[in-house]
Structures are given as structure tokens and as C-alpha cells.
Amino acid sequence: ECENGLTTFEIVTGFKFDGEVIEEISGLQNITDCLRKCSEIIECKSINFQNGFCVIHKSNAVENPDSLRTSKFPVFTVYGEKYCLKGLMITFEIHYKSRLNITKVENRNHTSLSITGKQLKNKCTGRSWSHERVVGFQFKLLKFEKRRVFALSSKHCIQLCLQEHLFSCRSVNYNKHRNECSLFDIDRHSISNSFANYPESARSDDSESYFSQSSTDSIDYLENNCIDDPQECDFKIVKGRVLNTVDNVYHNVSSFEECRLKCLHSKYRCFSFDFGINHRSQESRICRTSHLNTASTRHIDNAFTDIPGAITYELVSCLNVTVECSARQMIARVKSSKLFNGKVYSKTKPSSCINDVSNALDFELTLPYNDLTCDVTQLQENTFTSDIVIQYNDRVLTHRDFSLSVKCRYDMSNQTISNAPLQIDEYAI
């Protein structure tokens, strides 16, 4: 049971657990149903899922670590391990981090940290799983490491990531021999499809150098599945191949757009889908969605099958744009799923009203009213508008760039303000 907590799962893709079986279920169309079935069975501690076949186990890899093995070709398995995500009350040693170097403070500071179960539940409720673990791999761009702390286990490490409130924690490295937990504000997907735009200092002849197998078997990579990604997304076409194992299969899907939306509205972070004819059964209008793409299958041998005429759509990037309206200006705030290296500027004043962006997931452009530098137009007494451009490359225009209009409208109607005694609750101070 999981009193005052949330029953959720860690998944490990490409691994299969061999243990005592409670039940085998065939014909399930998605991994979420398999995980839900395990949640409903008290004795269930883990599952294997493979293209509609769900195996429910009475034990897990914590109890029997040698029973978790790499799954074999032609299809790979997803292993799910049930656990209780609760609030934490721990004392841990903090390692303070400078911009590029990690230094341990000689007078060790110990901080007591309390996290309620409700805080964690709010982030992960409705998600099929809380995180994915990649065994023996690590994120190697330490310049994006935000914090390094002591953790008792890999699950303890990812829980610290899930409750982080000073920044949006997207992934961690966990060193089990040192009990060392490194928290990052980016993950594999933040840079994978735009590696060519990555800064010169971090480039390598090996484009996989930022995420690769660790030099020892003591480090695992864990990725947060409770992140809210932007929803305005572009997908790229990958011709001639499909994933061997997927998370969800939908039948009788009417259109490509419906399939795309099923991916974006999944209960997990969906990064690819394919739509059309099932090349094995020849059934048409099949939509298959997955948390995997090329960037996240580097640790899996033969993750894809080559099929002439098949198409996989992989997520490239997503953006959300919001506008903050204040008394003297409006601010266009942009949230990106990929590290952005480009610029955002006023369409009519590209030289004077601009923000050059380097390696950021969140950025903004401030547009003052009554200021010629940004050319904000006042349409009516209460309405201001401006056109801005989001340019993905700092030097040249590309087909991915786009412009949009941002607008602020104010309520200028007469309003009455009355005075009233101010009541202050002494306990609110």
C-alpha cells in the first residue's frame, strides 16, 4: 500500500525481468493499461510489456537484481517497477556548485529538507510512470549540472529531482558507489535534434558524446516523466523504418493529425509516432505512439526495423508563447523543449528590439509601449500589438522560423475603489 503517497513506476527500456509470474495478459493495446493492472494488484511489484503482451510479477529487480537482463532481438521489452512516491524528510550533505566546477565545502553543511507527498503527487498524477532509468549510461555535459547532492538510492535521487523548486529538473545521473546525485535542467531530448547548433566548446566529432555509456557500471541516467512540455510541436519524417516496440496502439484513427494529437496528449512524454498501414498485419489506419525516438534508443540494439515505404515521425521541438501585460510594456515569454540558439526580435525593428538567445529553454522579449525601439502599435485606446519573429539560427533564416502577433488589451472602464478596514490574520505573517 502507498498511504499518503502516489503509486507510480520506474521504467527501464530494453530490459526484461525474469521472476515469479502472477498473471500474463495478451492483447493490451497500451503500456498504461499494463501498469494500471499492476497498480490494482497488491502483490504485483513489476511488469514486462512488449507490444501488447503484459507479464505481471510478484518480485522485482530490487529484490533480485540478477534477474533483470537485456531483452533480445527482434523486439525489445519495457520493464516497469512499482514503487511508492512519498514526501521526503531527510538530512543530506550539499555540494555547492560554481559555474563550471564542483567544490565540496570543508565545513559541511547539512540541510533538513521536507517535501510533502502532495507536492510530488501534483506533478506526477495522471502520468503513466514517474521516470525512466537508463542502466549504465550518463549525461556528460556537466556545464548544465545545477546541483550535486547525496542520495541514498537512484529512486531517492529522482525524487529530489521531482521536488526541485529552484529550477525545472529534467534528469539526473546517479552514482551508486558514491551515493552522488547530479541534477540537470536539460535531458537527452533537449539537445538531440539540434546538436549542430550546439556551442563550439561542447561539440565533438562524436555527436553522441553528450549522452553515452558510463566508464564504470556504477552510474545510471534517470529522466523525469513529470515535466510539462510545450504543446506546439514540429515533427520530422524518418523514412523506411519503425520502432520494434511501442507504448500505445490505436485502431481506426481517422487522420494523421488525430494520431499526432494522441502522441502529444499521451500520459507520458511522447517523442515519436507512426501512422498508416501496420506492415505486419496489413491493417490500415493504425496509430502507434512511443516515448522513444532515435536519441533515446542508443542503448538498445536493433530498436528499429527497416521497412520500405514506412514512415516514423519524430518530435523535433515544441514551443509555447505567452504574453505578460503590464502598465508600461508587454513581455513575450517563450518556452522551448529544445535548447534554443537563435534570437527573438521585433519584425519591424530587428536591430533595436532583439534578444540573442544562447542555450536556453526559456527566454523572452520585452516590448515597451510608447518607445520607438520596438515599434509597438496602439490600435485603440486600450489595445497594443506588435509582430515578433522567432529565428532558430542566429545568422540565417530557415524554414522553421516564424512570426506571430502579440497583443495586450486593457479594461479602461470606470471602476470604484472603496476603503474598508484591513483585517490581518496574525498567523499569516
pLDDT in tens, 319-350: 999 999 999 999 999 999 999 999 999 999 99
For Cα atoms 334, 340, 346, give the angle at the middle one, nearest 5 degrees. Answer: 55
Whether the predicted pLDDT of 109 surpasses 50:
no
In the chain, the N- to C-terminal Cα span, in Å, equals: 38
Does the structure show a pLDDT above 90 at 274? yes
Q: Identify the pLDDT of residue 118.
A: 54
Q: What is the mean pLDDT of residues 414-424?
A: 46
Cβ of 295: how many Cβ atoms within 10 Å? 20
Per-residue model confidence (pLDDT) at position 201: 39
* 255-264, 267-276, 362-371, 420-429, range with the lowest pLDDT: 420-429
Of the candidates 94, 90, 216, 220, the residue with the CA atom closest to the CA atom of residue 147:
94
Confidence of residue 287 (pLDDT cuts 50, 70, 90): very high
Print the SS3 string covering 155-167: HHHHHHHHHCCCC
Between 53-62, 110-119, 120-129, 215-224, the lowest mean confidence (pLDDT) is in 110-119
The chain-wide mean pLDDT, for the chain, equals 84
pLDDT at 401 over 90: no
Most confident option among 93-97, 167-171, 212-216, 370-374? 167-171
Q: Which residues have C-beta within 8 Å of that of residue 233, sequence separation ≥ 6?
A: 264, 315, 316, 317, 318, 319, 337
Q: Name the more confident of 291 and 88.
A: 291
Asked if 386 contacts 376 with a C-beta cutoff of 8 angstroms, the reply is: yes
- Give bridge partners of residue 271 from the DSSP assignment: none
Q: ∠ at Cα 163 (13, 268), nearest 5°?
A: 35
Band (119; pLDDT cuts 50, 70, 90):
low
Instruction: Read off the pLDDT of each residue in 356-382 and give the average, rounded to a whole number.
Output: 91
pLDDT at residue 216, as a whole number: 81
Residues with Cβ within 8 Å of residue 298, at least 6 apart in sequence? 137, 208, 211, 212
What pLDDT score was predicted for residue 199?
42
Asked if the model's pLDDT at residue 357 lies above 80, the reply is: yes
- Worst-scoring range by mean pLDDT, 157-171, 180-194, 220-234, 261-275? 180-194
Q: Phi-psi category of 185—alpha, beta or left, where left has phi over 0 and alpha has psi -120 to 50?
A: alpha
pLDDT at 276: 84
Give the dihedral of Cα atoms 336, 265, 186, 238; nearest 10 deg. Answer: -80
Domain architecture of the chain: domains with CATH: 5-87+123-130 (3.50.4.10), 145-194+209-224 (3.50.4.10), 232-317 (3.50.4.10), 327-409 (2.60.40)
pLDDT tens-place string over residues 32-73: 999 999 999 999 999 999 999 999 999 999 999 999 999 977
DSSP one-letter string for 56-109 = EESS-TTT-GGGEEEPPTTS--EEEEEEEE--EEEEEEEEEE-SS-EE--SS--
Mean per-residue pLDDT, 418-426: 43
Mean pLDDT across the stretch 64-86?
92
Q: How confident is the model at residue 411 (pLDDT cuts 50, 70, 90)?
A: confident
Q: How confident is the model at residue 284 (pLDDT cuts 50, 70, 90)?
A: confident
